[in-house]
Structure 1
């Protein structure tokens, strides 16, 4: 039976927020992953962009759980989430990429919504399915702290892959997406959910559904938003989760920049990349 990654990820995606005391709040997006401990015990991990937590100065944030009542009606039911112990962050950050993960105690009904670890793309996924510029992907988030409805579900957006090449992640740790990005989107999952795609050399089509990465930045030039999002590969989410267990021998990718090409006469200067500030005022 066909499964719909879009619905699974909508259920697993949560709003992260912290009031700032001046009537505004800082907002980001996260999603839950089911990743058992090395000894097999169930464990739920919250994944987001590291700068989402770093922009939150207080000890606790709010995580936007949703509860379905006996009559099937959903309601927003956020809970407090401790993110610091004094000056010590309770999340684990990837050493070179804008990715963070922390273990959370989710309500039992919400823990069931966490996506399995194998939904996350691996280093060869893009080449395996011959993915590239122009392919459509989707993203979930809470732009400027807005949700799809009072129940607190995330807003689904879509866009086209806007850069080449996409792999290997060691050389190209991020890729571009052609879609509007707003404060509050940071940390949201970017994924592909295509019903039928033919792999190179294959005679039959198959479903292609995986989490490609998470949204971490937007592109700006001279202060102007270019409607382009920057996605960090899921490979670095996997590496961050491995760091939670301090797996012996686990390797962390040190991203290698491609050798720069000589500048052409009249070439446009490099585009300035701006991390999305999470201060959505309400």
Structure 2
């Protein structure tokens, strides 16, 4: 009987694991969006702190975007359960004045927005890992728009698995970057790196910032060429940097972007 119960419980665990993974990944997916204009395409996610909602992405996402607006690709399900894409224009600048808040040292920025949002489109601040790095060797997931590709016409991101590839040699306060074994593409910057926090909830452990390439300079008689080959590795910033930047944004006077 004990053997039977052990086998039965083990089988239940095997079947329950994918369900749990699907729940936390779906919760993260609902809060992850494409952010783009004609000069910048990237990934972002939405965090809420009380009544305030913040777009979180890599700082270069905002800096490379030209003009005063970008498009945030929202989604909402209709009564029949079909998801519809909802492009929203958000204001990122007023003239030359940036409306986002950049971390003083790192490639990360947040911007407060005032938008009518579908249910589940934001995650609370306690979804962020508040201290330190994710553990070396731990499996993680990321949600992004590699090469600007959307999963479908509704504008959902694509999911990939990776592991934390770097062991932290310094305290996070001195060096908040870590490496994952996934190739970042244009459009991936700002995508969340996350794990399963249990009970169907994600825990955000970082944010994708850059691809790591092997660089070769090849010189011939007539020319010199620089060849960059993706190594299957990407840089990410640890989640406490996101929390720091949101707190910095709250302490500054901002003009929120409104929906159109």
If the length of structure 1 is used for normalisation, what is the TM-score? 0.73
* Alpha-carbon displacement from aligned partner over 1:201-239 (angstroms, at most 9, x marks no partner): xxxxx9994110100011112112111110101111000
The offset of 1:168, in angstroms, is: 2.9
Q: Partners in 2 of 1:209 and 1:107 — Cα distance?
A: 23
Could you say which residue in structure 1 is the equivalent of 2:10?
none
Could you say which residue in structure 2 is the equivalent of 1:277?
none
Could you say which residue in structure 2 is the equivalent of 1:64?
73
More strand by share: 2
Question: 1:182-197 counterparts in 2 under 5 A?
Answer: 182-193=185-196
Q: Specify the SS of the correspondent of 1:149.
A: coil
In 2, are the aligned partners of 1:16 and 1:62 still within 8 Å (CA)? yes
1:33 aligns with 2:47: yes
The offset of 1:194, in angstroms, is: 6.8
Could you say which residue in structure 2 is the equivalent of 1:157?
160
Unaligned runs of 5+ in 2: 1-19, 216-227, 253-260
In 2, are the aligned partners of 1:123 and 1:167 still within 8 Å (CA)? no
* Alpha-carbon displacement from aligned partner over 1:183-203 (angstroms, at most 9, x marks no partner): 0000010011276xxxxxxxx
Unaligned runs of 5+ in 1: 21-25, 37-41, 196-205, 248-282
* Alpha-carbon displacement from aligned partner over 1:88-111 (angstroms, at most 9, x marks no partner): 01100000011110111232325x
Q: Partners in 1 of 2:168 and 2:132 — Cα distance?
A: 13
* Alpha-carbon displacement from aligned partner over 1:54-95 (angstroms, at most 9, x marks no partner): 111111110001121121110111111110000001100000
Aligned residue pairs, count? 221
If the length of structure 2 is used for normalisation, what is the TM-score? 0.79
Could you say which residue in structure 2 is the equivalent of 1:262?
none
Q: Specify the SS of the correspondent of 1:118.
A: helix
245, 249, 254: which one aligns with 1:240: 245
Change in CA separation of 1:158 and 1:108 when aligned onto 2, cut-off 3 Å: same
Q: Specify the SS of the correspondent of 2:28.
A: helix
Q: Specify the SS of the correspondent of 1:109.
A: coil
Could you say which residue in structure 2 is the equivalent of 1:216?
209
Could you say which residue in structure 1 is the equivalent of 2:220?
none
RMSD between aligned alpha carbons?
2.2
Q: Specify the SS of the correspondent of 2:118.
A: helix
Q: Partners in 1 of 2:169 and 2:207 — Cα distance?
A: 14
After TM superposition, the structure 1 stretch with the greater mean CA deviation from structure 2, 186-195 or 148-157, is: 186-195
The offset of 1:5, in angstroms, is: 2.4
Could you say which residue in structure 2 is the equivalent of 1:140?
143
